[in-house]
Structure formats: C-alpha cells, structure tokens
Structure 1
Amino acid sequence: MKIREASILLGALEGGELNRSLSAELSKVLAELHDMSTEDVKKTFKGEVDIKIMLAAENGAVTISSEIKSKTPKRPRARSFYWITENGELSTEHPNQTDMFKGPRDTATRTAEPAV
C-alpha cells in the first residue's frame, strides 16, 4: 500500500493510536474552551493543539515518531477583598469606620456558634 495523503498517514501512525490521542486531546481542549467561554461570554478564550511529526530517514527507509502538545488559558481564580489594620491583621470592615454601638470588631479567630 502506498500512502499519498497526510490524513491516511495520521490514521495509520502508531497503529491508529496517534489519531485517537490527537482526537482526545482536541476534544479536551475544546471542552475546556467551551466551559470557559460560557462562564464569561464577554471574553475570548484561545487554546492550541500541536502535533509534531519527526522523520528520520536511513538507507531509503523512514522512521516516524510524533508528539502532541496542547495549551488552554489558565482559569481565573476568585479574588477576595479585605482591609489591613494597623496591626497587620485582616478585617472585613474598614478599620477607620467603627460600629455605632460596639466599636471596631475584633479580628481574632472566631469559632462557629452551634445552630439552635
């Protein structure tokens, strides 16, 4: 059999495993891009799937090896906002604004109160 088409070669390399791996990697990247683009519809997300085919010829014969790489954008992480007190502690309330009845809240570790 003579192979004249790249699509035939891709399907035949590694006994078909290269094609299966490439298809799986492409699906993984597309699914990640889909999830990201539906979470933030005002932003464009880009990914890549690269296939590298290495050829080594010797005495009229060729050995073919391959490599698959993919890349998707990093998912943004949520941000949290706190105030920094004079003592270097974190507070959920502005340190210069006091509670009308109690004064500034203590930023020491608190334990959860049991539900009644």
Structure 2
Amino acid sequence: MKKIRDATVVLGMLEDGQFASDLSESIRATLDALNERAGTKGKAKGSIAVKLDLVVSNGMVTIDCTLDAKTPKPERGSTVLFVTDDGSLSTEHPKQMTMFPRDADERRRVGDDD
C-alpha cells in the first residue's frame, strides 16, 4: 500500500493536478498585480488563501479545495461637483457668478470646426 505523507504530493493530486496549476497561475498573476501596483519605490500587499475541506466517510477522504487571491483595489480619482438648489448637479458653484459665460452648444460647434 502506497502511503502519501508529503503535502506537496497531495496538492499535486488535487483535481488531477489542475489545482496546483491554478495555484501557480494565481501566484504569478498576484505578483504581477502587486508589482504593477507598487511601482519602483512603493509597496503593495496581497494574499493567496488555499482552503481544503476534508470529509471522511467509510475509510475514504474527499477533498474539496478553493483558492482565493486578494490584491489591492486600484485607486480611483474623485470628482467635485456642486449641488444646485433644485438638487441637480453642476460643474459650477451655484452661488458664484460665471466670469466667462459660454454656451455648451457653442463649445461643441467650435470643436467641430477643427
């Protein structure tokens, strides 16, 4: 009877080797994302979690495995708009006068001439 005592052998057997392949790809993709995020002088943190659910019944074990990789979310910029008295949004402060009034349709026409 062949006994398996090495965890790397067990990981290699999961899902006929597909899980180990997916884990390798997840490590590569996570490192790529972290390297891109950190840049040349920055720092980025991520994690890869491997979970094995074991069920023993009648002398057999069934192993279900999951893989969860986490990388930092990309930073998004912010936009400042103003709320008017009627609850609409505006790019101009509603309580300030416009120094250089222009019609939006006029800007489009000027841009179309180029």
TM over 0.5: yes
In the alignment, does 2:10 pair up with 1:9? yes
Task: Name the SS for the 1:76 alignment partner.
Answer: coil
In the alignment, does 2:106 pair up with 1:105? no
Give the structure 2 partner of residue 59 of structure 1.
58
**AA aligned opposite 1:6:** A
- TM-score (norm. length: structure 2): 0.74
Deviation at 1:10, TM superposition (A): 0.5
- TM-score (norm. length: structure 1): 0.73
Structure 2 regions of 5+ residues with no counterpart?
A: none
Give the structure 1 partner of residue 78 of structure 2.
79
**AA aligned opposite 1:105:** P
Give the structure 2 partner of residue 69 of structure 1.
68
Structure 1 residues 86 and 106: CA distance shift in structure 2, 3 A: farther
Structure 1 residues 2 and 89: CA distance shift in structure 2, 3 A: same
Structure 1 residues 89 and 24: CA distance shift in structure 2, 3 A: same
Q: Which has the higher helix share?
A: 2
Give the structure 2 partner of residue 32 of structure 1.
33
Structure 1 residues 106 and 51: CA distance shift in structure 2, 3 A: same
- Distance (Å, rounded) in 1 between the aligned partners of 2:26 and 2:37: 17
Runs of 4+ in 1 over 3 A off after TM superposition: 79-82, 84-88, 95-98
Structure 1 residues 11 and 107: CA distance shift in structure 2, 3 A: farther
Structure 1 residues 96 and 50: CA distance shift in structure 2, 3 A: same
Structure 1 regions of 5+ residues with no counterpart?
A: 99-103
Task: Name the SS for the 2:39 alignment partner.
Answer: helix
> Structure 2 matches for 1:37-56, cutoff 5 A?
37-38=38-39, 41-42=41-42, 44-56=43-55
C-alpha contact (below 8 Å) 1:90/1:107 kept by paired residues: no
